[in-house]
Structure 1
Amino acid sequence: MASSRAGSRAGGPRRLVGAVVAATAVAALGACSLVGADDGGDAGDDGADDGAASGDGGGTVVLVTHDSFALPDELVAAFEEETGYTLETRAPGDGGALVNQLILTKDAPLGDAVYGIDTTFATRAIAEGVLEPYQAADAVADYAVDDTGSLTAVDMGDVCINVDHEWFAERGIAEPATLEDLTDPAYRDLLVVTNPATSSPGLAFLLATVGAFGEDGWLDYWTALRDNGLKVASGWSDAYYVDFSGPSSEGDRPLVLSYASSPPYEVPEGATDAPTGALLDTCFRQVEYAGVLAGAANPEGARAVVDWLLSPEVQAAIPENMYMYPVTDVELPASWAQFAPLATEPFHVEPDAISANRDAWIEQWTDAVVG
């Protein structure tokens, strides 16, 4: 659905509040956590000790997440009943902030397990030694970051430019389809994206342009976007709700950086057509991972959490609660099959290249695009 919630990475469509999103779901998304204390305070200290002492179920297991983790209460209750653990979550921020905090606290870990490390930061987390090697037995090999076995893929989504179909139809203007189209003067002042330094969807889109134009051409592409009236927002919420012209939004720009899973949440109940859509030739695939934190007080509980996140029940709940695609073969909501197809050929950058160049690319982008 990755950290764009209020200037983060993966918030993307996880925070969409269209006509079909229930108020309870929105409340869960904004709350950062479903169970336990999630304010980064000391509420879990005793529980973590209890979990470490138990060793065989029971006590507290602390899951550190980005701030859009949300699963139904009944799934959490079932996990607790089946394992004997009490699940507590802590959310230090978006996906980028999450990894930064894990690195800063690796000598005194914030919890036992982590969920929400995404493609753009996975290699950094591994290199910094914040993870203990562990993968769920059913981990999907196609999404492995490397051969250390430190992360298990849980969900994924395509970061893509979204288009307001109604805006273009009303004006009789053909919609863009490709990255190259976005630099056409016909689309001047129509696009808003998020800053890759403050938003993981923004970073994912930067990587899409690296994958599309190569290391020698991506910066020229961004210069062309800038010269064509590109607007840059700090986070997904501002871009989508303030600048975008879609039904849930208040702005006047009909092209916005979001996710392929955004359009279903703009469809009025009973409607057969989506007012927005994703441009599937502009996408970068973002995978979110879970793992066991090195030095965890309750490593057994952490492994149980990682396994649980890949269970059929959790995987089936991901689309309508965290607005990402499950990585296992579970049935998608009908609206997703109709309105949220994945890109057939998303742009790709090798994890090692991301790790080696991420900071330099962001610095170069900043100098060229926002100064």
Structure 2
Amino acid sequence: MRISRTATLAVAALSTLTLAACSSGPEAPDASSAAPSASAAPTGTVTVVTHDSFYVDDALLASFEEETGLTVELVAPGDAGALVNQLVLTKDAPLGDVVYGIDNTFATRATEAGVLAAYSPAAPAAADAASYAAPGAEDLLTAIDFSDVCLNYDLAAFPDGAPAFADLTLPEYAGMVSVTNPATSSPGLAFMLATIAATDEDGWLSWWEAMRENDVRVTASWSDTYYTDFSAPNYGGDFPIVLSYASSPPFEVVDGEPTTAAMLDTCFRQVEYAGVLEGAENPAAAELVVEWMLSDEFQAALPESMYVYPVSSSVEVPADWAEYAPLADTPTTLDPARIDAMRDEWIDAWTATVLD
């Protein structure tokens, strides 16, 4: 998924408002039948299945519940990979009604397993979301946000600018780089894919072998790499180059001055989607959640709440993002079907090369 605060995934216990009510006026003298009642709005609980980095402001969530009469329950089985795996394993008894957090590295696995029901939102931002659609799954997954997974560097360690991606294997950068394991981390997987796209499928393992010889550090999670290893002033670790996001540097500004920057030649474009789950108990409510995630209110909150870019063109990112969090002009990408076909093989090859 992306830098994000760990969500407190408690069941939202706000009271449920009942919106659907039937009423009838006095019968007209010549009426032969009762007037038809309006169709009922969805009510009850809607369960959102998401990754464990999902965060939404309590006030924003409460406003959605008040406006719709729904109670939102959050279920988080793990990171993006664990999320999709659990959806596949439980597709005959789905964990909830709607999912958020399937990204483009796992989209094909989810769609081919049949865990999603067709739904195309009507929100104005749906047109913007369509430009980030998962190929072949346009009616199953709706893009909500995107980000660039990139190496970040400590400006104090490199006053003349960051090294180029191709130079990281040189001896002068030995012991300077901390990344996350692609088998256990969504950004780790995205960065592994970036190295495949940047070096081609024949040369990427040679690059990683050289990085192993250059004492690259591998952690299990983004938080370990970023919060513990990074030498940036806010953390004080031992590694001046760490894996994170292009959107990280605005949060490391100290006394009005940036202390970190992203290496934009190392970026992989990551897109996160929402979708209605096949077999959902409350599919109408699930559709409302997807529409809500495309609303201006939800989209505008994404940079501060989950540190990702909104897909909607009608909302503006914070001013410091424009200055300190530029996106890569040419981020690396790979065909989702190719990722799905090769993901496990690539991870096994990476593990054998870097860790074994």
Tell me what 1:195 maps to.
181
| 1:251 and 2:237 matched | yes
C-alpha separation in 2, matches of 1:55 and 1:196: 46
Tell me what 1:242 maps to.
228
**1:286 is paired with a residue of what secondary structure?**
strand
Query: How many Å apart are 1:35 and its aligned residue?
Result: 2.4
Contact 1:34 1:73 in 2 (8 A): no
Query: How many Å apart are 1:167 and its aligned residue?
Result: 2.4
Query: How many Å apart are 1:32 and its aligned residue?
Result: 3.4
**1:156 is paired with a residue of what secondary structure?**
strand
Query: How many Å apart are 1:327 and its aligned residue?
Result: 0.8
Aligned residue among 126, 138, 150 for 2:111: 126
Aligned residue among 147, 160, 176 for 1:157: 147
C-alpha separation in 2, matches of 1:133 and 1:146: 14
Query: How many Å apart are 1:33 and its aligned residue?
Result: 5.1
Query: How many Å apart are 1:362 and its aligned residue?
Result: 0.3
C-alpha separation in 1, matches of 2:303 and 2:149: 15
Identity %: 57
Which structure would you say has the larger Rg? 2
C-alpha separation in 1, matches of 2:7 and 2:116: 27
TM-score (norm 1): 0.84
**1:344 is paired with a residue of what secondary structure?**
coil
Query: How many Å apart are 1:314 and its aligned residue?
Result: 0.3
**CA offsets 1:221-278 (integer angstroms, 9 cap, x no match):** 111111111111111111112211112223111000001111111112x51x210010
C-alpha separation in 1, matches of 2:231 and 2:46: 43
Contact 1:32 1:68 in 2 (8 A): no
C-alpha separation in 2, matches of 1:100 and 1:36: 28
**CA offsets 1:69-93 (integer angstroms, 9 cap, x no match):** 1112222122122222111111111
C-alpha separation in 2, matches of 1:68 and 1:183: 32
Tell me what 2:284 maps to.
300
Tell me what 1:6 maps to.
none
Query: How many Å apart are 1:146 and its aligned residue?
Result: 2.2
**CA offsets 1:36-80 (integer angstroms, 9 cap, x no match):** 59xxxxxxxxxxxxxxxx973211111111112111222212212
Contact 1:135 1:291 in 2 (8 A): no
| 1:146 and 2:138 matched | no
C-alpha separation in 2, matches of 1:309 and 1:333: 18
Contact 1:33 1:67 in 2 (8 A): no
Query: What runs of 5+ residues in structure 2 fail to find an aligned partner?
Result: 15-38
Show structure 1 runs of 4+ deviating over 4 A: none
Tell me what 1:183 maps to.
169
**Residue type matched to 2:96 in 1?**
G
**2:266 is paired with a residue of what secondary structure?**
coil
C-alpha separation in 1, matches of 2:164 and 2:146: 22
Contact 2:4 2:55 in 1 (8 A): no
The 5 A counterparts of 1:257-268 are 257-268=243-254
Contact 2:46 2:70 in 1 (8 A): yes
Query: How many Å apart are 1:135 and its aligned residue?
Result: 2.8
Tell me what 1:223 maps to.
209
Tell me what 1:31 maps to.
8
C-alpha separation in 1, matches of 2:309 and 2:171: 34
The 5 A counterparts of 1:335-350 are 335-350=320-335
Contact 1:55 1:300 in 2 (8 A): no
C-alpha separation in 2, matches of 1:333 and 1:318: 10
Moved more, 252-261 or 72-81: 72-81
**2:75 is paired with a residue of what secondary structure?**
strand
| 1:167 and 2:157 matched | yes
**1:288 is paired with a residue of what secondary structure?**
strand
**Residue type matched to 2:248 in 1?**
S
Query: How many Å apart are 1:96 and its aligned residue?
Result: 1.1
Going from structure 1 to structure 2, the CA distance change for 1:213 and 1:33 (only over 3 Å counts) comes to farther
RMSD: 1.7
Going from structure 1 to structure 2, the CA distance change for 1:33 and 1:348 (only over 3 Å counts) comes to farther
Aligned residue among 96, 99, 106 for 1:111: 96
Contact 2:42 2:282 in 1 (8 A): no
Number of residue pairs matched? 326
Aligned residue among 329, 342, 347 for 1:357: 342
C-alpha separation in 2, matches of 1:220 and 1:118: 27
TM-score (norm 2): 0.88
| Higher helix residue share | 1
Going from structure 1 to structure 2, the CA distance change for 1:204 and 1:36 (only over 3 Å counts) comes to farther
Query: What runs of 5+ residues in structure 1 fail to find an aligned partner?
Result: 3-9, 16-28, 38-53
